[in-house]
Each structure stands twice: as structure tokens, then as C-alpha cells.
Amino acid sequence: MNNKKKILLVDDDLDLLEQNKLLIESKGYEVITANSGREGFETFKKTKPDACVIDLIMEEHDSGFILCYRIKNDEHGKNIPVFILTSATYDTGFKFGASTSEEREWIKADALIHKPVIIEEFVQKLEAFYEMKK
Amino acid sequence: MSTSKPKVLIVDDEKGLRIGAQRLLEMEGYEVTTAENGTEGIKFGTETEFDLAVIDLKMPDIDGLEVLQTIRKKYPNTVCFIATAYASYETAVEATRLGAHSYIPKPFSPEELISNLKEGYQKRLVNLEAEKWQREREERLLEVAFEKTRLNTIINSITDGVLVINKEGLAVLYNPAALRFLELSSIAVEEYILDKLRPELLELFNKLVSEVSIEHKSYTIQIELKPNREFFVEVTASVVRHSTDNVAGVVIVFKDITELKKIEFVKSQFVSMVSHELKAPIAAVYGFLKLFNDDSIQLSPEQRKDYEIRSMIRLDGLLKMVNDLLDISRMELKTVHREIKKVCLHEIISSILELFQIDISKKGLQVVFEKDNTAHCINADSDEISRLFTNLISNAIKYNREQGIITINLYQSDNYIVTEIKDSGIGLKPEDRQKLFSEFFRAKNEKTKNISGTGLGLSIVKRIVDSYSGRIEVDSEFGEGSTFKIFLPLII
């Protein structure tokens, strides 16, 4: 029986999607990909992943936020970690984070992962979430 | 007047007195005129201005008081003495009431006359001096009043708001423009205004008034009066000092900087978009290089080759984007060197189609190029026109389906040469159509995800068309294809 954790990775940049898929797979996870907000939600419903990593700027500037919101409104989504993948905080000078519960509540995500992904940091955040759930 | 001899008029019907007084006074340095009766006294006294007059009270023709009155009416500064042997309290009062300076009882001694006239002359000099000062003061007041009106006119016509507040917080001066910035309908002069100011302004006021330094300081702040950059104001407050260096109050100048702020915002948004768009390909190539160097990840030779090619494609896209951005920046700065000459659109389009021949064949596209029998030439810069149609034809190829059609129609309509470029490709969703010409906009959907582009091509197309006072129209149906119509004026 396959007991690998399933991660849904959503990004509209196909190159980054593939790179991150390889990186996450190298850490022993199974990775499913989607390259738009809409496709991301459909895949989420179909595959019920153990975690989601969502790029912020896709079809629209806030596609990632919207997808997070929809996932966190779903019964299954409530119980899994949803991470936003972005470099927008640097690009726009607009500061936001997910370090406080208010921020997490507001952006509907459990953590922010900055681009380029530092895979060890990502795994640590993911495992910390599962530990907490236990 | 003070350097010449004091002029005295003696009016007396007594000949001896007249002659005696004249001799005496002339010896004392006076210039003396005598009149032997009231009529003559009035005549001389009103023809010339005398410094002094000694008038006999009782004369056979005209009463001395009447002579006094008439002379004083014409020359109020002539110091008049009434001389009389019939001194009484009543006549003294009456004479004083009518403007006599003093009253000399007869018979008087020479010393008495001289000391009286001397004192009278001093009095006249003082009076004249006072009058001169008074006149000067009045003139200055008039000038000040005039200056004030002129200053008010100037201040009232300034579009920037001006408000002067004294140390006690009372409004001293303001112009109508200030009301708009203070969001007040009126201000009364000398009204306590501090409680009507926004906290930021009050803080500035207090800071300036409480400062002990005598430097002529001013502070500038920016306030967003209405949210979303609808009304932005720059406020400069400076201290107003008395000549003694004490603080008299504060002058606040309000400047509407809404437009400036809007431009600043658009610019910063553009910069953030540009950096984001430039970062994406760099991040992708960086990611591939990291994979190559990650020992924990095993890549097959095919994968490696694939990633190398993809890195090159991303870098190539990055270069194109930088070039497009430079073009846009040159167009914005209007530093493009244009070589205006006769350019024939059918020739340009034909050569572009030849250039794209390989791409057209690869996709199996059919190209139909139709033109009417009129001339299709305009005066323009050939490079710009080539760039315009290269971008449009390249889009018609990229966003077309395999085995699709591209139809190009060239014709004259009114004063325009119209070029219609129609493809049978992906087409646009209605919501995407409006954003089509914005920088970095790329319609993102299932069908476009594998098509490369900078998102700047149509923005450049629009700028070129605009620079020739032309226009561009788009007709599109999602899944069916798009038609771009370019109208270029025959005469520019």
C-alpha cells in the first residue's frame, strides 16, 4: 500500500512546477500538479491530497488566494496544510505573512513559502503541521 | 520757510502803533506788512500766508474777530494774536474760540510783543511739523491699505490654499482655496481655528509655535484627504516671525498633488509588474541549474537536455522582454529617431509573411492576403510599421490552431488605410478583451499555456498606432478566432 503523502502543487509556470515537483518528490512525497487556479481546485476535489502548495499569481493576481479560500472552505481542505508559494511580498513591497493566526485566518493559508523554494524549509513546515495535528 | 524771515501782519487803525511795531519787529528780523483797517487786514491776510498776525480788536470798519476768523479760515496755521485795550474775559474766550492763539492787552511793551510773537512763531513751527507728519502718516496709511488690497487679490487668486494662524490659534488670513483643503465651508477672520484642523496639521502648528530656535523652519507633510488617491494634499507649514524674531504665527500652504500621486502609483505598479515578469524566467533557469547541481536528484540525459532547452527558451524570452521594455521606454521618452518616408503596407506585409514562412508551414496554416486596387502607402517610419505588423502577424500565427487560416485584407476607407488581420485561433474571452493592450497582459487559459510571449507586443502595437493618430479595433470570439483592424491615416 502506498503510504506516501500526496502533495498538490499548483503553479502556472510549467518550468517551476516541474522543478518543484522533482524537489518535493526527492523528499519522499507524491506530487500531483495543476497549472491554474481552476484546474487546481478540480484536482484537489478529485485527489484529496494531504497538503497543497499554491502559487499566488496565476490567471489573476489573487488566483492563489481564491484557490486557498475555496480549499479551506471544503471539509477535507480544513484539515490539511495549505501553503501559498510566492515572491510577491518582495516584488510589490506589500507586506503580508502567515505567522499570526489572524493573518492565517485572513489569507486562508497555513504558511507562506517564498520563491525560490528551499526544500528543507518546506519539508520542515509541512512536517511541523502534521506533528501539530497529532 | 524756516530759513527765511518770519512774516508778520499788523492790522491796526492806530498809525503810531503800526509804525512803531513795524520798526521794532523789522529790527528783530521779522518781515512786516501793515494794514490800517479790517478790510485791508482781510485782503492782505488772505492773499498771502503769514506766519503771524497781530489784529486790533476794535476797528472802525470791520471787527478784529471777523478779520481773525476770515484769515484763519483761509490759512489755519497763521498764528493770530488779538490786541485790545478792552480786555475782558468774554472777549478772550470768544477770541480763543475763533482760533486766536493768544491775546495781547494794550498798551503793550516792545518786550511783551516780541516774546509773544516769538512764542507764537515756535507754536506755528510745531504746528506745521505736526501737520507734515500727519500728512505723511495718512499717505502711508493709504499706501498700506492699497498694499493690503493688492496682497489679498493675489492671495485669493492662488489655487494653492493659504491659511495664516496667529500664535493664539486664531485665523488671520486665508484664501478661498484653503476652504477646499480644510473641508470647511467658511472661516471667519479671528475665529479660533485650531479645533477645526486635522490632527496632523495641529501637530505641525504646535511644533512650530513651541520651537525655541529662531531658525526659519518649515515642515512639509502629505495627507490623503480622500482614500484611494482621490485627493492627495501636500501641506507646508512655516513659522511667521515678528521683526523682533518672536513667533507671530504659522502660515500653512496646501497644494493639490493628486495627479502626481496617481502617476507615482501607476509607475510603481508598472515597476513591480516589470520586476515580477523579469524574475519569473530568471527563477526558472535558476531552478533548473539547481536541479543540475543537486546530488540527491537523479536526472536522465533526456531530462537534462530538455531542461537545458527550456532554460534557453526562458532566457530568450527574457531577452525579448528586455528589448520590448527598452522600446516602450524609448517611445515614452520620445527619443525614438524616426525616419519618415513613403512606406507601402502591402510590401511590408508581404515581406513579413515571407519571414514567418517556416512558422506558417510548421503549423500548416493557410494565408490569404487580399488588397483592393488603391495605393497602400503612407508617410511613416518603416521600422515602426514593420514592428507593428510583425507583432500582429506573429500573434495570428501563435494563437492559431493547426491547419488554421490567416486572412489579411488591405483597403482604403475614407482617409485611412485599413489592415484587417484575421485568425482562426483561440480567440478572446470578453473579460480579456479589455485588458488586451495593457503591459504584460497575456490571456491565460488552457489553450494559451504553451505559447511564449512577453505580454508587451500588443502594448507596443497600440503605442505605434497611437503615435500615427490611428486606431485599432478588435473583434474576437473565444474558440473561434480574432480580427484586428488597424486604421492608419493617409496623411499624418
- Chain B residues lying within 8 Å of A63, measured CB to CB: none
C-alpha cell at B126: 510745531
Residue B334 banded pLDDT, cuts 50, 70, 90: confident
Of A36, A93, A116, the CB nearest to B287: A116
User: What is the spatial distance between Cα A84 and Cα A65, in angstroms, rounded to a whole number?
Assistant: 8
Residue B23 banded pLDDT, cuts 50, 70, 90: very high
pLDDT at B89 over 90: no
B287·A91 Cβ contact <8 A = no
| Segment A104-117 mean pLDDT | 75
pLDDT at A95 over 60: no
| Segment A43-53 mean pLDDT | 94
This complex has an ipTM of 0.80
pLDDT at A1 over 50: no
Residue A91 to chain B, least CA–CA distance (Å):
6
B276·A116 Cβ contact <8 A = no
Instruction: Determine the number of helices (DSSP H) and then strands (DSSP E) in chain A.
Output: 6, 5
C-alpha cell at B25: 519787529
Strands B7-11 and B102-105: unpaired
B444·A58 Cβ contact <8 A = yes
Q: Taking a C-beta distance cutoff of 8 angstroms, is the pair B74, B92 a contact?
A: no
Closest B-chain CA to A88: B276
Q: What is the pLDDT of residue A103?
A: 64
Torsion of CA B466, B468, B470, B476, to 10 degrees: -60
pLDDT at B94 over 90: no
Residue B306 to chain A, least CA–CA distance (Å):
11
Which of B264, B277, B289, B290 has the most A C-beta neighbours within 10 Å, making it the best mutation to test the interface with A? B290
B291·A23 Cβ contact <8 A = yes
| Segment B462-470 mean pLDDT | 91
Could you report the per-residue pLDDT of B375-423, keeping only the tens digit for each? 889 999 998 999 999 999 999 998 899 999 999 999 998 889 999 999 9
Of B280, B290, B450, the CB nearest to A13: B280
Could you report the per-residue pLDDT of B237-287, keeping only the tens digit for each? 998 888 777 788 899 999 999 999 988 888 888 887 788 888 889 999 999
Specify the residue for cell string 500652504. B253
Residue B371 to chain A, least CA–CA distance (Å):
39
For residue B226, what are the CA distances in angstroms to B197, B257, B467?
16, 12, 35
B290·A58 Cβ contact <8 A = no
Size of interface A-B (CB pairs under 8 A): 55
Residue B492 banded pLDDT, cuts 50, 70, 90: low
Q: What is the pLDDT of residue A59?
A: 73
Lowest mean per-residue pLDDT among A81-95, B120-134, B432-446: A81-95
- Chain A residues lying within 8 Å of B452, measured CB to CB: none
Could you report the per-residue pLDDT of B68-88, keeping only the tens digit for each? 999 999 999 999 999 887 767
Q: What's the pTM value of the predicted model, to 2 decimals?
A: 0.58
- Chain A residues lying within 8 Å of B288, measured CB to CB: 15, 19
Interchain CB contact of A86 with B (< 8 Å):
no
pLDDT at B482 over 80: yes
Residue B138 banded pLDDT, cuts 50, 70, 90: confident
Q: What is the pLDDT of residue A88?
A: 57
Name the average pLDDT for chain B. 88
Residue B285 to chain A, least CA–CA distance (Å):
8
Interchain CB contact of A61 with B (< 8 Å):
no
Q: What is the pLDDT of residue B1?
A: 43
Residue B296 banded pLDDT, cuts 50, 70, 90: confident
Could you report the per-residue pLDDT of B168-225, keeping only the tens digit for each? 999 988 999 999 999 898 888 888 999 999 999 999 999 888 877 667 678 999 998 8
Q: Which of residues 22-51 of A touch B (CB under 8 A)?
A: 22-23, 26, 35-36
Residue B186 to chain A, least CA–CA distance (Å):
40
